[in-house]
Amino acid sequence: MDISNATLALLLTVFAGLSTGIGSAIAFFARSTNTKLLTVSLGFSAGVMIYISFVEIFAEAKIAFIEKFGEFDGTLYTITSFFGGMLLIALIDKFIPSYENPHEMHAVEEMNKSKKAVQSKKLYRMGVLTAVAVAVHNFPEGIATFMSVLHDPAVGVAIAVAVAIHNIPEGIAVSVPIFYATGSRRKAFFYSFLSGLAEPIGALLAYFVLMPYLTEGNSVAVMASTMAAVAGIMVFISLDELLPSAEEYGEHHWGIYGLIGGMVIMAVSLLLLN
C-alpha cells in the first residue's frame, strides 16, 4: 500500500474530524443560525454519501468479491458486509441514550439566550457525555473516511468533505450543552474539538489493524469487505442523521435540493475522473 496515500488518508480524516471546531466557532460568533444553508449542506452531504456508496463503493466491492469468489458467493459477501456496516453504526446509536445523543439539533441562538450559564455537576456530566457520544459516533466515520481515501483518493476527498460538512452542526450540538453546563465558551470549544479527534483515532486503528492484511494474499477480500461496510455506514448516517437533521431545521425542500445537488455533483465528478 502506498505510504503517500496513507498519509493523505490520515490528513483528510483529521480535517473531517476537526470540523467540529468549525461548528463551535459558528456557535460562538454567529448571531443567528442560517437554517437554509445548514439544511442544504446536510442534504448535500447525504447526497454525496448515498451516491458514492451505491454507485461507486458498493459496486466496486461487489465486482472484487465476484472476481475472487464467484457470482453467488461474491454477491452474498458484499451484501453481508454492507449490512454489517449498517449494524455497527446502528448498535452505536442504540447504546447511546437519546438525551445524550449528539444528533439532537441545536441553534446558535441558544448560545445567546443567557449571559450566565446554569452551572451544576449534573449538567457538566451531561455535557461531557454529549461530547463522548459524538466521539463514539465519529469513530467509525474516521475508519470510513480513511479506507475510502486508500481505495480511491478522488472519491475519498469527496467523502472527507461530506463528513466535514456533517460534523459542523455536530460541533454546534456539542458546544451548546457544554456551554450551559460549564458557563465557559473555551471549555465548550475544547470538548467539541476533542470529540472530533475520534475520527483520526479511527483512521489510525484502521491503519494499524487493517493495513497489514492489505499487503497479504487476502488483500482483495479485506478491502472489498471493508469498503462494502463503509458504504453501509455512510448510507445509515445519511438516512438516520443527515436527512432527519436537515428536516429538524425546518427547510424540507432545501434539504432535498441539497441531496439532489450532492448526487449530481458527484455523478459529474466521477464521470470526469473516470
Residues 149 and 160: beta-carbon distance below 8 Å: yes
Over residues 10-39, the mean pLDDT reads: 77
CA distance 125 to 169: 21
Q: What is the CA angle 196-153-222, rounded to 5?
A: 85
Cell (9 digits) for 147: 479506507
Average pLDDT over residues 85-100: 74
Q: What is the pTM of this model?
A: 0.71
Predicted confidence at residue 73, as pLDDT, reads: 95
Cell of 204: 489510525
81 vs 178, higher pLDDT: 81
HSE, side-chain direction, 13 A CA sphere, residue 152: 15
N-terminal to C-terminal alpha carbon distance within the chain? 21
pLDDT at 244: 83
pLDDT in tens, 157-191: 888 888 888 788 777 767 776 776 677 778 878 88
Name, of 31-40, 214-223, 259-268, the range with top average pLDDT: 259-268
Read off the amino acid at residue 16.
A
Tracing cell 463522548 back to the chain, one arrives at: 132
Per-residue pLDDT tens over the stretch 218-248: 677 888 898 899 899 889 988 987 888 777 7
Average pLDDT of the chain, as a whole number: 79
SS3 category, 2: coil
Question: Cell numbers 463528513 correspond to what residue?
Answer: 163
Cα–Cα distances in angstroms (integers) from residue 205 to residues 97, 117, 210, in the given order: 26, 38, 8
How many angstroms separate the CA atoms of 246 and 102, rounded? 14
Q: Evaluate whether 134 touches 156 at the Cβ level (below 8 Å).
A: no
Tell me how crowded residue 225 is: count the other CB atoms within 10 A of its CB.
21
Task: Kindly provide the residue ranges of all beta strands, DSSP E only, lying in the chain, ordered along the sequence.
Answer: none
